[in-house]
Every structure is written in structure tokens, then in C-alpha cells.
Amino acid sequence: MSTLKYILTMRNGRASGSSSLLVFMFCRTSIIQRHHNPKRIEGCATLQWKSYFTVFSCLVSLMSVCGADESDTWNNPLESLTLKGHSGSVLGVAFSPDGETLASGSSDKTIRLWAVRSQKLKRTLTGHSEMVTAIAFSSDGQILASGSWDKTVRLWDVQTGNLKAVLRGHNGRVHTLAFSGNGAILASGDSDETVRLWDGRTGALRQTLTESDGPVFAVAFSPDDRTLASGGELGNTVIRLWDVQAGKLQRTLKWRRVDAVKALAFSPDGLTLANGSSRPEENTIRLWNVRTWELIRALTGHRQEVTSVVFSSDGKTLASGSWDRAVRLWDAQTGRFKRTLNGHSGAVFSVAFSPDGKTLASGSADKTVRLWSMTVK
């Protein structure tokens, strides 16, 4: 891929420093209230939990207003390109296995397929009736799965853009998707406390795994496909580890403080599991030893909840995205903070490394996808 041009664009109509601070405090207060009292969020009127979509939209709009101020604080020396076209927040990004295509899913109910080398739009996939919250490529790159708040999972032919199947069965909004490494199984998690395992090729339902602590926000397969990790809403039991073949619960990972898991990722060697936290006072990333299931360390630095985590293909770097609008890079072995990638003017909901590790994609509430060059020192 050719050297990426550096983008230093300032968003038109950005709030002043003082007004940005006021809106930022409002947003943070609202987010904290969402965790402690889901029935009401200040400034958005009284709402029941089932109206979470409206609350989410309100928060996303507010976070978009909370752009960077006029100083150079948010400028970044790492080169990046910006992909524009979505009319809503970009909630999911994923690279195809060959690294040639980037998929992005949005609250505008569409999926866009981009040519990575030219950064041009290849096609737009439509069909979901609610926001697209998660996307994943099969291991052979022929199928793209998308999950939505319309309670369905859709399978698309990547080459033609044709819809192959609509997977129905979820009774709640679909928040997360993951293909097994061999592409044989597709896992999806929803707001109705269930994880469903589908045949990755035909879309037939294989098994339903029942949670008990609330919505499932994250799922991840171990590299050997034997274990599925799932994480969800506030509760003492936060991460569950499932035997994929047997469909049985193997273990739960607990810690003292009430928390919610919004992101999960196994390292390529399968020795580490990372999770992103949404506890307002912490906003941490936890790294777990897969052999002993003991906590290795907690990574702190994000100012708001961590929405996404991903390991580079060589396992040396961990990237994280957050409501604080930043992408952070960490040394996956030592936990040392490496750098912050600033540029988004809204919350960062998803991050993904290209297969060769040379590019990092991030999707944001500012309606854009950014491609960051990892080769620039």
C-alpha cells in the first residue's frame, strides 16, 4: 500500500473550547447515569430500557458535538486517511483476510465495502431495517456477516454483494459477531442474554448459549476454535468461557467491581485474552493468562469506556478504541503504552488491524473511517 497522506482537517462548525467542555461534562454525566439508572438519562427525557436505541442516538449526537478544540492537542503525527460516505456513526470495521477490502457497518443501516489500496467505495449493502452494529468476514473472505438491532444476522456474498441468507432467531438486538478461525461457526450475541452459534456456511442454527447477566456485547473465538469468550452487561460474572464443541460453560472470570465488557480479543498465539471495560471510574483493558486464567495486568489511560480491542497479527501490539475519541496503542507483551492516535471528533466504536499489520482502521461517531499507517515511526 502506498504511503498514506497525512490528514489534518478541522471539522466545520466545531464548538468553542468552553462550550465543548460543557457538552463533554454533560455527555460524561449521561453515560455514567446510563450505567446506574438505565430508565433515565438527563437531557434525553424519561425512557425505558427498551428505548435504548433513542438514548444511544442522543449520546452519539452529543459525543459528535464534543469535538476537539481549536488547539493542536488533537493533531497526530501518524499518517492517516479518512473514508467518508456514511450518514451515521460507524459502529464496526473489518478487513477481509487478503487485506484488499475494508467493510464498515453504520447506524445508517448500511454496510460499505471499500477498496483499501485506492480508498474508493466498491459497493453499499442495504437490507437491515435498524443500525448495523457488527460485521465479520469468514476466513476465506467469501462471506461477510452483519448483525443489527433489527434482531437479524445477514450473510452477504462479498464478490457480488448479493444477500445469501437472513438468520433469524434472536429475540433482542444483535450487538456482536465473530467467525471461528476455520469459518465453520458464526457466533452472535444479543440484548436478550443469549449467544447463538450458526453454521458459518449455510446459516443454520447449531446451538444457543444462554447468559444470565444481561445483554451480550462481545464474543471472540480462541485461535484454536475450541473456546468462545462472551462478555456482557453489568454483573459479578462478566466473562464466560464456553467449550465450542460441547456448548458447555467451562469457566467464568470475575472481579470484585461491577463492570461491563464491551470488547474481547484473543492474541494470535492464544495465550492472552484482552477485554475492554466500561466502568466509568476505570475504563480499563484487562489482559488474562489463558493457561491459568489469572489477571496479568490492567491497562489504564482511556478517559471513557473502552469499546473495542484488537491484537496485531504478530501479537506485538494491542489497539483500543474508546468513547474518549482516541485510539491507543499498547505493547501487548509488557503492557507499556506506546502512543495515542487522535483525529476522530466523535467516540471510536471499532478498531481493526489489516492482516499484514501495516494499517489500522477505526470507525467513529463522527461518521468516518480512518486508516492509520502503522509503518510510520
pTM of the complete model beyond 0.85? no
Q: Is 363 exposed, middle or buried (0-12, 13-18, 19+ CB in 10 A)?
A: buried
Phi-psi region of 352 (alpha: psi -120 to 50; beta: other; left: phi over 0): beta
Neighbours of 258 (CB within 10 A): 12
**For position 218, which CATH number holds?**
2.130.10.10
Does residue 25 belong to any structural domain of this protein? yes
- Give the C-alpha distances (Å, rounded to integers) separating 283 from 62, 170, 280, 286, 360: 19, 29, 6, 10, 21
Q: Are residues 140 and 233 in the same domain?
A: yes
* Cα–Cα distance for residue pair 311/15, rounded to 1 Å: 34
Beta bridge partners of 178: 187
* pLDDT band, residue 281 (cuts 50/70/90): low
Virtual torsion, Cα 148, 180, 279, 317, nearest 10 deg: -120
Residues 98 and 243 in one domain: yes
At residue 278 the predicted structure's pLDDT band, cuts being 50, 70 and 90, is confident
- Provide the domain limits for residue 292: 80-373
| 127 & 99 share domain | yes
Same domain (yes/no): 45, 148: no
Same domain, 52 and 97: no
d(CA 152, CA 196): 11
104 in helix, strand or coil?
A: strand
Q: Domain count for the chain, please give it.
A: 2
Asked if residue 237 lies in contact with residue 229, where contact means CB atoms within 8 angstroms, the answer is no
Residue 187, in any domain of the structure:
yes
Mean pLDDT in the chain?
Answer: 81
pLDDT in tens, 222-264: 999 999 999 987 555 579 999 999 999 999 887 766 568 899 9
User: Does any domain span residue 4?
Assistant: no
Over range 144-159, report the average pLDDT.
97
Residues 190 and 49 in one domain: no
Distance CA 74, CA 324 (A): 12
What is the C-alpha separation between 134 and 111, in angstroms, rounded?
A: 10
Q: Residues 152, 254: one domain?
A: yes
Q: Is residue 305 part of a domain?
A: yes
- pLDDT (0 to 100) of residue 20: 38
Cα separation, 183 vs 377, whole angstroms: 35
In a domain, 74, yes or no: no
Domain assignment present for residue 340? The answer is yes
- Res 282: pLDDT: 67
pLDDT at residue 10 greater than cutoff 50: no
Q: How far is CA 222 from CA 227, 242, 266, 292, in A?
A: 5, 10, 6, 15
Residue 16 pLDDT exceeds 80: no
In terms of domains, do 135 and 200 share one? Answer: yes
Per-residue pLDDT tens for 39-57?
333 333 333 333 333 344 4
Whether residues 158 and 300 fall in one domain:
yes
Does any domain span residue 6? no
**One domain, residues 55 and 148:** no
Residues 224 and 179 in one domain: yes
In order, the DSSP letters of 247-311 are TEEEEEEEEEEEE-EEEEEE-TTSSEEEEEE--TTT--EEEEETTT--EEEEE---SS-EEEEEE
Grid cell, residue 31, equals 453515560
For residues 323-350, give the mean pLDDT: 95
In angstroms, rounded to a whole number, what is the distance separating the alpha carbons of residues 317 and 337? 10
The answer, yes or no, to whether residue 214 has pLDDT greater than 90, is no
Could you tell me if 99 and 153 lie in one domain?
Answer: yes
54's CB contacts (< 8 A; 6+ apart) are: 44, 47
**Would you say residue 144 lies in a domain?**
yes
